[in-house]
Amino acid sequence: MTVDIVHPGQTHGGGGIHLNYVARAVAQAHDVRVYRPAPRPLPRRPTILAATRLLTTVRRPDVWILPVIPLAAVGAAAGRKGVVGLFYHHDPPTQKRDWLDRVIEKRLWDGLRSARRVVVIAEYWRCFLLNRGVIDPVVIHTPFEVERYRVSPADIEAFRLERGLTKRPLVYLGNCRPQKGTEEAWAALRDLDYGFVTSGRRALDLPVPNIDGSIHDYVLLLAACDVVLTMSTFAEGWNRTAHEAMLVGTPVIGSGRAGMRELLEDGGQLICERFEDLRHLIPHVIEERAARGDRGRRYAAQFTVARFAAQWMELLATCCPGSKGR
C-alpha cells in the first residue's frame, strides 16, 4: 500500500511528535512518503494549504494521512481522495482568530465529516467529534518509547546536584510557555518553601530554574521532581508531559482539560481545576508519592510504540481492504 503524509513541520509540541510516530509506524509495512511543505521564511498556513491542494491533485496514493491544516486544504473532497484525518484537539476560544482561521475551520469540518476515517488521541475527542456529525472516529493513543524512561536513582541524584535542584520538595511547574498554566501555578505557590523548576524553550519570565536540554535531561528532570504540575488552561489533546512524568514514577496534578482527564483519571493521578487548591493538594500527593507513582507508571507503560503500530496497521487494513503491506 502507498501512504502519503503531509507534515506541518512542527518540531516542538505533541502534534508534531505524534505525526512522526505515525509515519514510522506505517512505514514498517507500507510505502510511505512524508511531505513537509512549509519551509521558513514562507508563511506557514497558506503554504501548507496551497502545497496540500497541489499534492493531493497530482499524487494518487492508496491513502493520505492528513492532520488539521492539510485536511482543511482538501475539505469535502477528503472521502474520494482516500484521506485518513488526524485530529488532536480543538480550542478556538484561547486562540487568536483571523479570517484564515475561520476558513480553515469550516473546511476542516467538511474534511472531518467526509474523510474515510478520522483518528483521535483520546476518548474525549471521539465524543467531541461524534457530537458534531463525524462518523465513527477511532481512538489511537499517542505512543511512548517506554525504555527511554528507565533511569537509576544514582543518575537522578547526580542530575539534581549537577543542576542545583537540591531544594526539596521539588515542584515542576510546567513547560515555560503561555497556556500551560505555568505562570499561574507559580503565582499560586511562590510563597511556599519549595524548590521550583520549569522546562523547554523559555517564553515566560519566571525567577525559577529552567531546563532546556536533551531528551535524557528532560526525563531525569521529571524523575527528580517530587510532583509534576500540568495545569494547562486550554483543551489538551492528551498531555505528553503528564504521561512522561507517570512513566518515571512521579505523581501528577493536572487541570484535566479535555483529553488530559482520561490520562489522569485512568492513571490514578489528581485533577485540580483551581490554581488556589494546589497548595493543599501538593503535600498529600507527595505523601502518597510511591503509591501514586507506581500506579501511574503501570498505566502509562501500556502505550508502547508496538501497540501503536499494530493499531495503525489494523486501521489501514479497514481503509483499503485487500491492500497488503510490503
pLDDT digits (tens, 9 = 90+) for 30-58: 999 999 987 777 788 899 999 999 999 99
Q: What is the pLDDT of residue 321?
A: 66
In terms of domains, do 170 and 276 share one?
Answer: yes
In terms of domains, do 53 and 153 share one?
Answer: no
CA dihedral 77, 83, 87, 92 (to 10 degrees): -20
Q: What is the pLDDT of residue 12?
A: 62
Q: What is the pLDDT of residue 91?
A: 76
Asked if residue 121 is part of any domain, the answer here is: yes
In the chain, which stretches have pLDDT less than 70? Answer: 10-12, 92-96, 321-326
Task: Give the residue among 191, 278, 267, 193 at the shortest CA–CA distance from 229.
Answer: 278
In terms of domains, do 157 and 14 share one?
Answer: no
User: What does the chain come to in residues?
Assistant: 326
- pTM (predicted TM-score): 0.94
In terms of domains, do 100 and 18 share one?
Answer: yes
Asked if residue 325 is part of any domain, the answer here is: no
In terms of domains, do 74 and 197 share one?
Answer: no
When divided into structural domains, the chain yields a total of: 2
Beta-carbon contacts of 84 under 8 Å, excluding residues fewer than 6 positions away, are 63, 64, 65, 66, 115, 116, 117, 118, 119, 315, 316, 319
Asked if residue 69 is part of any domain, the answer here is: yes
In terms of domains, do 293 and 260 share one?
Answer: yes
**Residue 127 belongs to domain with CATH number:** 3.40.50.2000
Count of Cβ atoms closer than 10 Å to residue 16 Cβ: 14
Asked if residue 324 is part of any domain, the answer here is: no
In terms of domains, do 156 and 88 share one?
Answer: no
In terms of domains, do 169 and 104 share one?
Answer: no
Asked if residue 231 is part of any domain, the answer here is: yes
174 is in which domain, residue-wise? 146-300
In terms of domains, do 107 and 250 share one?
Answer: no
In terms of domains, do 91 and 211 share one?
Answer: no
Tell me how far apart the alpha carbons of residues 62 and 83 are, in angstroms, rounded to a whole number.
Answer: 9
In terms of domains, do 246 and 313 share one?
Answer: no
Dihedral sign, CA of 157, 162, 166, 169? negative
Tell me how far apart the alpha carbons of residues 188 and 228 are, in angstroms, rounded to a whole number.
Answer: 15
Task: Give the residue among 30, 82, 26 at the shortest CA–CA distance from 56.
Answer: 82
In terms of domains, do 262 and 311 share one?
Answer: no
Q: What is the pLDDT of residue 10?
A: 67
Asked if residue 326 is part of any domain, the answer here is: no
